[in-house]
Chains A and B, each alone.
Chain A
Amino acid sequence: MAFDIDHYAETSDGVGWADLDFESFAEQPLPEMTLRTLRYMCNVEYHTVCYLRDLLMTPSHKERDVNAFMTMWNREEFWHGEALADVLGRHGITVDYDELKASRVKLEWRDKLGPLRQSILGNIVGADYIAVHMSWGAANEWTAVAAYRRLAALEQHPALSPLLRRIAQQETKHVAFYATQARNRLEKSKLARKLTRLALAKAWEPVGSSISEPDEVQHVMRHLFDSEDGMAEVRRIDANIAKLPGMEGLTILETALRKGGVAA
């Protein structure tokens, strides 16, 4: 499946929500556990720029398609953050620049080492390391699509559910880019397949784990996936990841959830 980067760039836009009836949150406010999950999702979206930073440490950004995608992707994710912040704002939860800065500063040391580690790895292993990033990105985006769709289905809210479906729709384009890139790069190199399998099997955690308290990660995973429908979704994501060249048999999301005490 080819990814048409020109079409993607031309049509890329911030997610819109002006037409949705956000006044409905006054009469039908969201329950506490949903707000907690949304807070997590909002943080993850705003932090995309930090993931971008790690991606930029590899030489991949100089490739035209990757450059175009990263620019658009980063902005779309920023707008997901803005949209979710607006929903939270309707419930008296403020997510502003200062608060975001405070949470980024809190991550301090772990975070400061991030680019250093990425840069050294990226430069030593070179092009094959890009395959790791692309596969990692695909796994994250698949999880994000599933998470938004699950929450939309769980809530059935007249404003929230359509918003989450719109966000999920944009995330499916991100999946297409990452999966196409990952597949192409994995097919070409045995070392890339080995490195990627090792990274996903040993180091992958649900998106947001590195920027959130463990309790919050567990809450979100339990909220979204700890049910029969939820686990069916989890297995579908794992099956998608396992279809990437060299990733046969991996069940990284289910494994991560079991480790976190979800879906025992």
Chain B
Amino acid sequence: MSRSQGPTPAAAFDLRDFTRTARGSHRDRLDLASYAARPLDCDTLNLVRLLARLERGALSQLRSVLVTPTHSDARMTAFLVTWAYEKFWLADALEAISEAHPAPTATMPTPLARRLRHAWQALGERLEPIRESVVSNLIGEDVVAVHCLAGTLDEWLVQAAYQRLAETTSHDDLARTLDELREVKRRHLEFFESQAGQRLAASPSAARLARRRLPRTGFPLGSSEEPPEALARLLDGLLTAADLRAIDRRLDSYPGLAGLGLATAAGARAARRPDSPSKGDLRP
């Protein structure tokens, strides 16, 4: 796993180049016939499907971010427009691999507790932009730093999962595709890291806000609607406790953010709740 130490200088990211060279469809690079010849095992396929759903959540994330002062920042929106486009095609590639396999068999009926939780989350999700548009607009610019930090942590977690899956799968084509997709994600991380570092350095109150808000955020972003067993497989199986600790150390290196232990906490939450109610996906 690549481990950059702390914030990257903001000048390192060329936003214009990123918008100009966005990666579209990956379909012509996928060898879908290889999956017909050698299908993925069920566990790997479930992880691929989970990663696809997480990438697909870009617009839902945008929804929460754009009601805040982040939407006024034309650099942020230029990035987010392109980021959403690239994530659309990351999801598409993973879905194409999934669709090269027989459709998932009908699942057991959803238990009542889980259905109630989903209804509660759906209500929360409908109300969230209302709350968020009021709260964040009172807080102001600092919330942009929190969004960038959340994006950073999310990329660390999800990219680590891409990498682990590529290392552990016996399917060469899947490994190659995951590496190629991670290369697309590398620039997303670069942007979030550089913006977060720059904004934290410019505003001491941003770190205080991040300390309050990040622990209330469900990581990876958009995972609140995921079945607990899928998250447990991701955060307490594919990624090990050592991986999560390494991610936490990277966050520790940002000024004012030491000791939050957010990745470890996400792992612990996923491990202990086969079907316990969650607080929902409170975005920063």
Q: Which residues of A contact B (CB under 8 A)?
A: 9-10, 12-14, 46, 49-50, 52-53, 56-57, 59, 61-62, 67-68, 70-72, 74-75, 78, 82, 96-98, 100-101, 104-105, 111-112, 115-116, 119-120, 123
Contacts and interface: CB of A to CB of B under 8 A. Distances in A.
Interface stretch (B72-80, B162-170, B236-244): B72-80
B66 A75 contact: no
Contacts of A71: 58-59, 84-85, 88
Given A9-B88, A57-B129, A97-B78, A49 B19 contact: no
Given A74-B85, A112-B137, 16 more contacts: A50-B71, A53-B67, A53-B71, A56-B59, A57-B129, A70-B59, A72-B85, A75-B81, A101-B75, A104-B71, A105-B72, A115-B66, A115-B67, A119-B133, A120-B130, A123-B126
Given A56-B59, A61-B59, A98 B74 contact: yes
A100 B63 contact: no
A53 B67 CA distance: 7
- Chain A CB within 10 A, most for which of B19, B58, B88: B88
Contacts of B81: 49, 74-75, 78
Interface residues of B, number: 33
Contact of A56 (B19, B63, B74, B130): B63
B129 A119 contact: yes
Contacts of B22: 75
Nearest to A123: B126
B202 interface: no
Contacts of A53: 62-63, 66-67, 71
Contacts of A120: 130
B25 interface: yes
Interface of B: 19-20, 22, 24-25, 56, 58-60, 62-63, 66-67, 71-75, 77-78, 80-82, 84-85, 88, 126-127, 129-130, 133-134, 137
Given A10-B25, A57-B63, A71-B58, A116 B130 contact: yes
A104 B72 contact: yes
Contacts of B67: 53, 57, 115-116, 119
Contacts of A98: 74
B88 A101 contact: no
Q: Say what secondary structure dominates the interface of chain A.
A: helix
28 contacts: A9-B88, A49-B77, A49-B80, A50-B71, A52-B62, A56-B62, A57-B67, A61-B60, A67-B56, A67-B88, A71-B59, A71-B84, A71-B85, A74-B85, A75-B22, A78-B81, A82-B19, A96-B74, A97-B73, A98-B74, A100-B74, A101-B72, A101-B73, A101-B75, A116-B130, A119-B126, A120-B130, A123-B126
A62 B53 CA distance: 12
Contacts of B88: 9, 67-68, 71-72
Given A49-B77, A71-B58, A119-B129, A56 B85 contact: no
A59 B123 CA distance: 11
A112 B66 CA distance: 10
Contacts of B66: 49-50, 52-53, 56, 115
Contacts of B58: 71
